[in-house]
Amino acid sequence: MQNFIVKNIISLLMGFVGGYIFTLYNFPLPWMLGSFTISLFLSIPIGYFDIDNRLRRIALPILGVLIGSSFTPEILKQIYNWPKGISLVFIYAFIVSVVGYLYYRKIAKWDMVTSIFSAPPGGLAELVFIGSDAGADERKMILVHSLRIALVVITSALIIKFYFNTDFARIIIKNPPLHLIGFTDWFIMLFCAVVGGVLGLKYKLPGGALFGALLLSAFFHLTSLTDVKPPSFIVASAQIILGTSLGVRFHGITKREFKDTVIHGFVMATIMISTALAIAVISYKIVDIDPRALYLSMAPGGFTEMLLLSLAIGVESAFIATCHCLRIFLILSCIPFASHMTKKNRNNE
């Protein structure tokens, strides 16, 4: 137990160092990407580091409250533009899921079940859980989906900065000084994080604790009951936990796994990113939505990571959050059918 605690502390310190270095050099989203990058490169050869899932469960509601605060009354005036953009997200999810299945099945030569559950662009935890029950290769699914998220996070930051020529370095939280934040505002933020997080996990919402906290925070900010956001140091701490926990997933990768899994996952992640960017660039004028927001709404990174990127550049976080939620709902609503069909086919063989 003591060794486990020490391991978590060392891992978080490692993440802090990475975040601090990225902050010094004004990298985009420094605390998350810095902690992720250093933990990724150190975890593969060393394999010592780890982050307790309970820490992640504490961090996610904090970020949910932050993202929910972007749902302001002014957002309601923009909703009429959303249906066209959301329809593009659905089309995108269908296209890359089909392409992904065909790639894993025909080129990678994976079994049908693993191919089905490795193809969709979202819902890592749910896909791995349901896929394992259906008989898919759990290790391959975890590696492929983790790699997809990691590549999308890094690539999306570079695309936004260099392709869309958007400068951003860190999330700017406009709040009054800590001592001027009232008791009511602190209570509302704590209520959203705790109650929303619990409800998100209990009812298995997409994004879990984060989405539950996001919904409550959005309600309080849309109704103007508060306009305060979580303080910067709390948000930075949550990002360090998130980034480090993402990087340490890659410890213990063998040469065989790299050849048989990681390379195929890299190819599909590249296809997913390229497709999202192409659709966004081609159609943003048609749907009248900022191309950066349209890209981030489709980019198959983690729910939390894409929303943090949107906050860092100040584009339509509410629209992006809605699209990611609906995309995950779409994927998870189709998964039980896919699971049933694969079990039926295996029983007939």
pLDDT in tens, 50-72: 888 889 889 989 988 988 887 88
What whole-number distance in Å separates Cα of residue 87 and Cα of residue 327?
10
- Mean pLDDT, the chain, as a whole number? 85
What whole-number distance in Å separates Cα of residue 329 and Cα of residue 119?
16
pLDDT of residue 348: 59
- pLDDT beyond 90 at 37: no
Q: 297: how many CB neighbours lie within 10 A of its CB? A: 29
Would you say residue 29 lies in a domain?
no
Would you say residue 136 lies in a domain?
yes
Q: Which domain holds residue 264?
A: 55-168+175-231+253-348
pLDDT of residue 131: 80
User: At residue 163, what is the residue type?
Assistant: Y
Would you say residue 40 lies in a domain?
no
Structurally, how many domains does the chain consist of?
1
311: tokens are 């906050």
Residues whose CB is less than 8 angstroms from the CB of residue 224 and which lie 6 or more positions away in sequence, other chains included: 73
Q: Are 64 and 213 in contact (CB under 8 A)?
A: yes
Would you say residue 49 lies in a domain?
no
- Quote the DSSP letter at residue 206: T
What whole-number distance in Å separates Cα of residue 174 and Cα of residue 259?
47
Angle of CA points 325, 300, 336, to nearest 5°:
60
Would you say residue 78 lies in a domain?
yes
User: At residue 170, what is the residue type?
Assistant: R
Residues whose CB is less than 8 angstroms from the CB of residue 181 and which lie 6 or more positions away in sequence, other chains included: 175, 228, 231
Give the 3-state secondary structure of residue 204.
coil
Max Cα–Cα distance, the chain, nearest Å:
68
pLDDT of residue 246: 82
Residue labelled with tokens 């990475």: 18
Would you say residue 44 lies in a domain?
no
Q: Are 197 and 60 in contact (CB under 8 A)?
A: yes
Q: What is the pLDDT of residues 200-221, one digit of tens each?
A: 889 877 667 888 998 999 999 9
Q: Are 131 and 332 in contact (CB under 8 A)?
A: no
Q: Answer whether 0.85 is exceeded by the pTM.
A: no
Q: What is the pLDDT of residues 128-183, one digit of tens each?
A: 767 877 788 877 887 888 889 889 988 998 899 889 988 765 555 566 677 678 89
Q: Per-residue confidence at 192, pLDDT binned at 50, 70, 90?
A: very high
What whole-number distance in Å separates Cα of residue 262 and Cα of residue 348?
32
Q: Are 12 and 244 in contact (CB under 8 A)?
A: yes
CA dihedral 202, 205, 210, 212 (to 10 degrees): -70
Q: Are 226 and 220 in contact (CB under 8 A)?
A: yes
Would you say residue 288 lies in a domain?
yes
Would you say residue 20 lies in a domain?
no
- pLDDT beyond 70 at 110: yes
Q: Are 115 and 323 in contact (CB under 8 A)?
A: no
